[in-house]
């Protein structure tokens, strides 16, 4: 694996390898001493143009537990306002001699552009997309798949293909959600059926061509799905005219206490965080027995360890064709 | 300098070119005008143009020269050299410079610079509103009375979104036969971030959408304002099939509306955005294949009157940001005719006479330029371009005469028709 830019770049076998290795990594996570020597001498830079405490710490722990040298660079604010081009910023960091660059940016496509500039200059730096604008967040989709796979396997050990054939609802602001886009790609690759639930104002244009089912009635959907993923509603959407009031949003699309009873027994609840308790998800739902929200956070570190290992582990050639995947 | 000076005072005899599709004939260039070839002096410079097509010098309704303000991206000198290389003998220079061309002094200053360094006639476009802010009218009448004789007014880059301001602008310019060239973009439907044609791809790429209605809605309003005020409206860079429908309707009603399409909207589609390459970021955005087909049909049947390049040079670093942060625009002057040949002439949608109309005489008429867009005829100004309809090559952005390199055609195999350009009898481009 050269880069991880989009969940769409992974086929089912590759996803399986990442998730299987993440299971191994999760074992490390539960040990008293968590350090593996796998990436000793490797350098990972978390280059975050947008704040994200949880994703950054998750990548940071993942790198550190694999013994990589990890540094965090916060480049908040657009490069335009600082007067430096994005290309100059990423090339500057890359030129310090880093092995992998984990990029979070408020603009869609920035990690893809970064990877292209590196390729043009023959730089071997691996790029991981840690969330780009309203486009993709592939490691989030991987950790969601990991969490759900574990859950379904525990429920039904005789089904090794734990996600194939499952119906999974993704509820909320699909238009502006990179989590939703990556999950649609990844879950579809794994054979699951995704049901998007949102008011029409929060569905992206062209959603009709996506391999998903689109619904507007959350109450009707909840009893038909094997799991539900709630998406965060960003503050700026509330004043953007996408829906009249937060109250109305909650009534239509929030996972309220009343709606918990509509879920199939044992159907898990996911949320990528940070949560707006009381808006898209009630405290009762977030803290319910079916909630996997903290499992997702834990899975995040294991999955990112796996991804970093796939990109950097055992690789000693420059062309990036080794690693566990290819 | 150009080869112009050594030709001064010497006849140039162009032999056997096909005159805009009307068959081969000879042309004599003498003292800046066309003269009777039979009168050619024996020492005339003879140009064998057999197999070539002669067109009147092209006129671009829509050029960004970036001077004053961004001379690192383009200057009057480099922009007009690029224009000459593209076959243009006149370019209308948009007002969104720094400072904005919103006064007679600014327009005359540009005219003065161009008179010293220009390789083509530079026609200053005046801003509709002061500072392009869309609030108050700029001094339209003073610009019209100035030495620049401004007739085309545009806030291009910004839409004149306020309906009342647009109405007043249209009414006011009627006094001096002016025209308001509208950049049609409803800012409420397509805001500053909007950078991808709204549709399947904008949704998938997560790029802010620019819906067709944001253009067609403004045009629908403006053609009715033009009807109400009995004034002239020009629609810049039409990009959607919906706008074409509105234009057709308006023209049937007899509204005095004209429209232009850019070369890039005749060939490139939104699919170019898949790799988030800001070279393909332009405003209005690249659209669907259906839109491209509708625009070609409209240019063919005259619903769209003219080709305007929207030549928009940018310094490299302004294009090396994340896609939504990068500057809008692409180069166009040097490749416009190539794209028109590829998309319109070769498929048979336009003949050479139509090319002369759409790229020279009609734009000159819209801008009320007396010495441009004239027939290739004795007594007319010698604005001439010779083209080779068969020649092709792969576009190399580094071969451009523009200062900028934001060339969307780089690496593409296209017609390469440009042979030579004369502006007022002065040779401003010769293929090496």
Q: Where are the alpha helices (DSSP H) in chain A?
A: 12-29, 53-65, 79-82, 86-95, 110-120, 138-155, 178-189, 218-222, 235-238, 246-253, 257-260, 283-286, 293-312
- B 140-169 → A contacts, CB under 8 A: none
B365 is in an annotated binding site: no
CB B254 within 8 A of CB B196: no
Domains B4-53+381-430 and B56-366 share a fold: no
Residues in chain B closer than 8 A to A108 (CB atoms): 205-207, 276, 322-324
Q: Do A206 and B277 touch (CB under 8 A)?
A: no
Pairing of strands B257-261, B306-307: parallel
Determine the pLDDT at residue A78: 57
Determine the pLDDT at residue B4: 45
For residues A292 and A183, membership in a common domain is answered with yes
For residues A55 and A78, membership in a common domain is answered with yes
pLDDT tops 60 at residue B76? yes
- B 308-367 → A contacts, CB under 8 A: 317-318, 320-325
Q: What average pLDDT does the segment A252-274 reach?
A: 96
For residue A225, which of A272, A281, A268, A282 has the smallest C-alpha distance? A268
B213 touches chain A (CB under 8 A): no
| Residue range B92-104, pLDDT digits in tens | 999 999 999 999 9
Pairs across A and B, CB distance < 8 A: 86
| Residue range A20-73, pLDDT digits in tens | 999 999 999 889 999 999 999 999 999 999 989 999 999 999 999 999 999 999
Q: Do B321 and A86 touch (CB under 8 A)?
A: yes
For residues A303 and A203, membership in a common domain is answered with no
Residues in chain B closer than 8 A to A134 (CB atoms): 206-207
Choose, out of A47, A86, A136, the residue to mutate when testing the contact with B (most B CBs < 10 Å).
A86
Domain for residue A1, yes or no?
no
| Residue range A199-251, pLDDT digits in tens | 999 999 999 999 999 999 999 999 999 999 999 998 777 778 899 999 999 99
CA distance B383 to A296: 71
Q: Do B322 and A110 touch (CB under 8 A)?
A: yes
Q: What average pLDDT does the segment A74-78 reach?
A: 75
Give residues with Cβ within 8 angstroms of B256, minimum separation 6.
B226, B230, B231, B232, B233
For residue B397, which of B323, B316, B340 has the smallest C-alpha distance? B316
Residue B418 DSSP code:
E
Give residues with Cβ within 8 angstroms of A122, minimum separation 6.
none
- A 190-209 → B contacts, CB under 8 A: 204-207, 209
Mean pLDDT of chain B: 97
For residues A62 and A148, membership in a common domain is answered with no
Residues in chain B closer than 8 A to A113 (CB atoms): 276-277, 322-323
Q: In angstroms, what separates the C-alpha of B205 from chain A's closest C-alpha?
A: 6
CA distance A194 to A228: 10
Q: Do A108 and B323 touch (CB under 8 A)?
A: yes
B200 touches chain A (CB under 8 A): yes
Q: How far is CA B130 from CA B135, B169, B352, in A?
A: 7, 12, 40
Q: Do B203 and A79 touch (CB under 8 A)?
A: no
* E-assigned strand segments in B229-331: 232-235, 257-261, 306-307
Q: In angstroms, what separates the C-alpha of A42 from chain B's closest C-alpha?
A: 27
Q: Do A113 and B323 touch (CB under 8 A)?
A: yes
Domain for residue A321, yes or no?
no
pLDDT tops 80 at residue A320? no
CA distance B152 to B127: 9
| Residue range A20-34, pLDDT digits in tens | 999 999 999 889 999
For residues A48 and A154, membership in a common domain is answered with no
For residue B198, which of B291, B312, B264, B278 has the smallest C-alpha distance? B291
Nearest residue of chain B to residue A81 (CA atoms) = B325
Q: In angstroms, what separates the C-alpha of A33 from chain B's closest C-alpha?
A: 41
Q: What average pLDDT does the segment A277-302 reach?
A: 97
For residues A280 and A204, membership in a common domain is answered with yes
Nearest residue of chain B to residue A6 (CA atoms) = B205
Range of the domain at A72: 7-137+299-312
For residues A225 and A252, membership in a common domain is answered with yes
Q: Do A181 and B206 touch (CB under 8 A)?
A: yes
Q: Do A181 and B207 touch (CB under 8 A)?
A: no
CA atoms within 13 A on the CB side of B224: 8
ipTM over 0.90: yes
CB atoms within 10 A of CB B202: 25
A144, containing H or E segment: helix A138-155
The set of catalytic residues of B is: 310
pLDDT tops 70 at residue A79? no
Lookup: tokens for B305: 């009157």
Domain for residue A319, yes or no?
no
The minimal CB distance from A107 to the residues B200, B202, B322 is found for B322
Q: Do B207 and A132 touch (CB under 8 A)?
A: no
CB A196 within 8 A of CB A214: yes
Q: In angstroms, what separates the C-alpha of A257 from chain B's closest C-alpha?
A: 32
Nearest residue of chain A to residue B325 (CA atoms) = A80
Domain for residue A320, yes or no?
no
The minimal CB distance from B206 to the residues A80, A116, A133 is found for A133
CB B293 within 8 A of CB A47: no
The minimal CB distance from B275 to the residues A112, A176, A181 is found for A112
pLDDT tops 60 at residue A325? no
CB B107 within 8 A of CB B145: no
pLDDT tops 70 at residue B261? yes
Helix axes A293-312, A53-65, angle to 10 degrees: 50
Q: Tokens 């092995």 belong to which residue?
A: A99
Determine the pLDDT at residue A287: 97
CB A164 within 8 A of CB A192: yes
B66 is in an annotated binding site: yes
Q: How many structural domains are present in chain A? A: 2
CB atoms within 10 A of CB B3: 13
Nearest residue of chain B to residue A87 (CA atoms) = B320
3-state DSSP assignment of residue B381: strand
Residues in chain A closer than 8 A to B199 (CB atoms): 205-206
pLDDT tops 60 at residue B189? yes
- Binding-site residues of A for carbamoyl phosphate, in ranges, read 54-55, 104, 137, 140, 273-274
Determine the pLDDT at residue B129: 98
Q: Hey, where are the domains in chain B?
A: 4-53+381-430, 56-366
Dihedral in degrees, nearest 10, Cα atoms A58, A61, A62, A65:
-160
For residues A146 and A275, membership in a common domain is answered with yes
Confidence tier at B8 by pLDDT (50, 70, 90): low
Determine the pLDDT at residue B2: 44
Choose, out of A83, A108, A198, the residue to mutate when testing the contact with B (most B CBs < 10 Å).
A108
For residues A95 and A34, membership in a common domain is answered with yes
Handedness of CA A175, A176, A181, A184 (dihedral sign): negative
Domain topology for B4-53+381-430: Urease, subunit C; domain 1 (2.30.40)
For residues A255 and A306, membership in a common domain is answered with no
CB A50 within 8 A of CB A106: yes
- A 58-87 → B contacts, CB under 8 A: 78-80, 85-87
Q: Do B209 and A205 touch (CB under 8 A)?
A: yes
The CATH number given to whatever domain includes residue A70 is 3.40.50.1370
A88 touches chain B (CB under 8 A): yes
Q: What average pLDDT does the segment B53-79 reach?
A: 98
For residues A130 and A192, membership in a common domain is answered with no
Determine the pLDDT at residue A143: 98
pLDDT tops 80 at residue B116? yes
Q: Tokens 């306020």 belong to which residue?
A: B162
pLDDT tops 50 at residue A323? no
The predicted model scores a pTM of 0.95
| Residue range A107-130, pLDDT digits in tens | 999 999 999 999 999 999 999 999
Taking CB atoms within 8 Å and a gap of at least 24, the contacts of B160-166 are: B160/B128, B160/B129, B160/B134, B161/B134, B161/B185, B161/B186, B161/B187, B161/B188, B161/B218, B162/B134, B162/B135, B163/B221, B163/B225, B165/B128, B165/B129, B165/B134, B165/B135, B165/B136, B165/B137, B166/B221, B166/B222, B166/B225
Residues in chain A closer than 8 A to B207 (CB atoms): 108-109, 133-135
Residue A236 φ/ψ, nearest 5 degrees: -70, -20
Q: Tokens 């304002």 belong to which residue?
A: B225
Lookup: tokens for B41: 């002096």
Taking CB atoms within 8 Å and a gap of at least 24, the contacts of B361-364 are: B361/B56, B362/B258, B362/B305, B362/B306, B363/B58, B363/B59, B363/B60, B363/B61, B363/B260, B363/B305, B363/B306, B363/B307, B363/B308, B364/B59, B364/B90
B11 is in an annotated binding site: no
pLDDT tops 50 at residue B273? yes
For residues A220 and A271, membership in a common domain is answered with yes
> Phi/psi class of residue B403: alpha, beta or left (left: φ > 0; alpha: ψ in -120 to 50)?
alpha
Q: Do B275 and A116 touch (CB under 8 A)?
A: yes
Nearest residue of chain B to residue A115 (CA atoms) = B275
pLDDT tops 90 at residue A138? yes
CA distance B229 to A94: 59
pLDDT tops 50 at residue B6? no
Identify the CATH class of B56-366: alpha beta
Domain for residue A67, yes or no?
yes
Q: Do A80 and B321 touch (CB under 8 A)?
A: yes
Domain for residue A268, yes or no?
yes
């Amino acid at each position: 694996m050269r880069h991880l830019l989009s969940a769409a770049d992974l086929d089912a076998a590759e996803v399986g390898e990442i998730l299987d290795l993440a299971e191994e990594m999760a074992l490390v996570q539960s040990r008293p001493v968590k350090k593996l020597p796998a990436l000793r001498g490797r350098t990972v830079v978390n280059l975050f143009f947008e704040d994200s405490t949880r994703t950054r710490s998750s990548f940071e722990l993942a790198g550190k537990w694999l013994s990589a040298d990890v540094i965090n660079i916060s480049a908040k604010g657009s490069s335009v306002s600082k007067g430096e081009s994005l290309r100059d910023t990423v090339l500057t960091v890359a030129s310090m001699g880093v092995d992998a660059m984990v990029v979070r940016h408020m603009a869609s496509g920035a990690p893809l552009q970064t990877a292209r500039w590196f390729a043009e200059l023959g730089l071997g730096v691996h790029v991981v997309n840690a969330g780009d604008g309203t486009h993709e967040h592939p490691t989030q989709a991987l950790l969601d798949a990991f969490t759900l796979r574990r859950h379904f396997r525990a429920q039904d050990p005789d089904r090794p293909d734990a996600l194939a054939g499952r119906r999974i609802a993704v509820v909320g602001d699909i238009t502006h959600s990179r989590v939703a886009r990556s999950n649609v790609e990844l879950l579809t690759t794994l054979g699951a059926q995704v049901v998007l639930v949102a008011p029409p104002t929060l569905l992206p244009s062209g959603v009709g061509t996506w391999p998903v089912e689109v619904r507007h009635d959350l109450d009707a959907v909840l009893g038909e799905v094997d799991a539900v993923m709630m998406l965060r509603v960003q503050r700026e959407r509330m004043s953007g005219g996408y829906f009249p009031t937060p109250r109305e949003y909650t009534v239509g699309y929030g996972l309220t206490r009343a709606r918990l009873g509509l879920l199939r027994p044992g159907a898990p609840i996911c949320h990528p965080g940070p949560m707006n308790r009381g808006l898209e998800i009630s405290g009762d739902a977030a803290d319910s027995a079916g909630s996997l929200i903290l499992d997702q956070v834990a899975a995040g570190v294991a999955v990112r360890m796996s991804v970093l290992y796939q990109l950097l582990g055992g690789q000693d050639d420059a062309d990036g064709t080794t690693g566990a995947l290819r | 300098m150009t080869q112009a000076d050594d030709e001064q005072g010497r006849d140039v005899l162009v032999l056997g070119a096909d005159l805009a599709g009307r068959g081969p004939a000879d042309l004599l260039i003498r003292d800046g005008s066309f003269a009777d070839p039979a009168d050619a002096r024996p020492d005339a410079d003879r140009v064998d143009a057999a197999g070539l097509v002669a067109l009147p010098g092209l006129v671009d309704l829509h050029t960004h020269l970036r001077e004053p303000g961004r001379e690192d991206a383009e200057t009057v000198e480099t922009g007009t050299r690029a224009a000459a290389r593209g076959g243009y003998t006149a370019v209308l220079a948009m007002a969104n410079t720094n400072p904005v061309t919103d006064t007679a002094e600014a327009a005359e200053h540009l005219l003065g610079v161009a008179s010293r360094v220009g390789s083509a006639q530079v026609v200053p476009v005046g801003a509709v509103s002061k500072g392009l802010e869309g609030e108050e009218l700029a001094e339209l009448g003073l610009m019209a009375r100035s030495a620049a004789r401004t007739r085309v007014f545009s806030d291009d880059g910004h839409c004149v979104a306020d309906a009342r301001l647009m109405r007043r602008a249209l009414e006011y310019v009627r006094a001096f036969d002016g025209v308001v060239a509208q950049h049609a973009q409803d800012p409420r439907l397509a805001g500053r971030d909007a950078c991808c044609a709204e549709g399947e791809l904008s949704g998938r790429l997560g790029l802010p959408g620019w819906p067709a209605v944001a253009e067609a809605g403004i045009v629908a309003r403006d053609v009715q304002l033009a009807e109400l005020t009995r004034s002239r409206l020009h629609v810049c860079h039409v990009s959607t099939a919906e706008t074409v429908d509105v234009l057709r309707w308006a023209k049937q009603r007899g509204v005095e509306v004209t429209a232009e399409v850019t070369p890039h909207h005749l060939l490139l589609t939104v699919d170019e955005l898949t790799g988030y390459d800001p070279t393909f970021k332009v405003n209005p955005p690249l659209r669907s294949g259906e839109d491209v087909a509708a625009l070609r049909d409209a240019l063919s049947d005259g619903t769209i009157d003219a080709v305007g390049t929207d030549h928009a040079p940018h310094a490299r670093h302004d294009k090396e940001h994340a896609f939504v942060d990068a500057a809008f625009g692409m180069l166009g002057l040097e490749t416009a005719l190539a794209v028109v040949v590829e998309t319109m002439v070769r498929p048979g949608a336009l003949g050479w006479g139509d090319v002369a109309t759409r790229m020279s005489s009609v734009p000159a008429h819209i801008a009320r330029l007396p010495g441009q867009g004239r027939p290739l005829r004795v007594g007319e100004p010698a604005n001439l371009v010779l083209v080779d309809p068969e020649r092709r090559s792969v576009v190399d952005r580094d071969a451009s005469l523009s200062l900028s390199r934001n060339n969307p055609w780089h690496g593409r195999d296209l017609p390469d028709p440009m042979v030579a350009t004369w502006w007022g009898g002065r040779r401003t481009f010769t293929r090496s």
